[in-house]
Amino acid sequence: MRVQRILGGIWAAGLLAGCPAWAGTATTTFNVTATVLQSCAVSASDLAFGSYDAGSGAPVTATTILQVTCTNALAYAVALDGGTTTHDPVNRAMSDGTHNLTYGLYTTSGYGTIWGDASAGTSTVSGNGSGMAQPLTVYGRIPTAQFVTPGSYADRVTVTVTY
């Protein structure tokens, strides 16, 4: 019995030794801050006209989508340059390296307003950021009766978002 009391006492002392004695508490706070900067991001898919038949009697049309994401309530304007072939938004052209095939990029499906850089009769497309991606459609058209050398034609247009 005496051994049991000794072992019980050792066991109880071990439990008490593992528990710290809490005498009180102290607290504080700290601030968490960040500064949100004005920002926009843009992405674009390629505009592929496909095959072009100069004698078809109808222009070839195609569209692509730009995705503009800007901070909430931030006003922005989207410009398209004249491309690498002509550098002229009014007289855009694709090239096969030697020959050119003209085309236009427009702000609406009515093909009345050239999407450019707001110079020489062109317009930009404006909006206000929502914090979410906003799709903008680019309407492309190749005019009829361009009897150019057969081959693959290409151009590269730069999209600029100003905010």
pLDDT at 49: 98
Q: Hey, what amino acid is at 11? A: W
- Sign, CA torsion 131/41/79/115: negative
Share of the chain above pLDDT 90, in %: 86
Judged against a pLDDT cut of 90, whether residue 30 lies above it is answered with yes
Report yes or no on 25 lying in a domain.
no
Domain with 110, as residue range(s), is: 40-162
How does pLDDT run across 131-149, given as a tens digit for each residue? 999 999 999 999 999 999 9
- The structural domain count of the chain equals 1
pLDDT at 11: 45
**CATH code, domain with 156:** 2.60.40.1090
Judged against a pLDDT cut of 50, whether residue 123 lies above it is answered with yes
Report yes or no on 12 lying in a domain.
no
Rounded Cα distance between 44 and 22, Å, is 62
- Residue 74 confidence class, pLDDT cut points 50, 70, 90: very high
Rounded Cα distance between 149 and 145, Å, is 12
Weakest-pLDDT range from 5-9, 17-21, 81-85, 96-100? 5-9
